Structure 1
């Protein structure tokens, strides 16, 4: 398997396991697929979630670690996801959720496993476009909590993707970054001085 999934911080995993074992937390999560799950639900494939804050003047994407996401598997597929966040006291469970990004993440990971080059999988959120991508980082030994997308890294936009960006089509960062830069850069208002 060419994917080198980084280990999540132990407190993040513990917080998800604790939430999964709490009937109250699961019931209040408003995730029908998790409530209806038959059999044990287990957190798998921890992925660090990085947020694209901005693109610097020299074209470097500036990111920050926002949390860790675990796919919650029941049987042979993911039924939900669990998100953790960093608090002043350390890693803590944030919430469970379901929706199209769960299945899309699972699909993108299966797709990435067929690529012969090894990658470290991460998630990259682009809030300005309401976009989430599977970020395949070329440095498998890198600290998953740090760094920024390198030109040779690959981004796989997850479905639903913004208009004009194809979901599940792997694209090198060097090719997709100009599109993202153009889309997230505010244009001057009409009639305002340039």
Structure 2
């Protein structure tokens, strides 16, 4: 069962304003959004966290909240998404987009609903790997701003990096070491030979 966090009201208002703006929709690089007939509605707000690799070696990567994402529904399916970001004036609309992560997010949310237990859904972006996962936080009452706890689950969205299966629920304790290895800086070659 999913227990989503409510999106900040200003974030939702900014997306609704953008959807109501013919200019914002027309200028978006989302043909599906521009061609949509009938009402559009922002649904499934998800906080978007970025997994950072900065820090001392041997320490877990940290996350930071970067925005909120809304799936934009037309009829019976999501056709696009809208991102918001935190500015000096609060939460503001950032942009519309479409692509494989829209359908993959919708699919992962349906998969997560069938899992036993209660989870708070979030998105976790790993920019260095061009990877996006549905992060299922196992303690919805507890806010996490550091690394995802070991008991949480991650469902990589398609397309996932080579060697990581998309739409499979991984325990953080199993997937995070793989990500940490891939994110580690390469060893400096040539220094020992030239010294």
Cα–Cα, structure 1 residues 177 and 59, in superposed 2: closer, same or farther, change >3 Å?
farther
TM (norm. structure 2) is 0.94
Residue 6 of structure 1 pairs with residue 8 of structure 2: no
TM (norm. structure 1) is 0.94
CA RMSD of aligned residues (A): 1.5
| Runs of 5+ consecutive residues of structure 1 not aligned to the other structure | none
The Cα of 1:165 is off from its aligned counterpart by 0.6
In structure 1, the partner of 2:151 is: 152
2:153 touches 2:169 (CA, 8 Å); kept in 1?
Answer: yes
The Cα of 1:189 is off from its aligned counterpart by 3.1
SS at match of 1:44: strand
Q: Distance in 1 between matches of 2:43 and 2:146?
A: 23
Q: Distance in 2 between matches of 1:193 and 1:103?
A: 49
Report the number of matched residues: 192
Higher Rg of the two aligned structures: 2
| Runs of 5+ consecutive residues of structure 2 not aligned to the other structure | none
In structure 2, the partner of 1:92 is: 92
Q: Distance in 2 between matches of 1:191 and 1:27?
A: 53
Poorly superposed stretches of 4+, deviation over 4 Å: none
1:55 touches 1:181 (CA, 8 Å); kept in 2?
Answer: no
Cα–Cα, structure 1 residues 151 and 55, in superposed 2: closer, same or farther, change >3 Å?
farther
The Cα of 1:187 is off from its aligned counterpart by 1.1
In structure 1, the partner of 2:174 is: 175
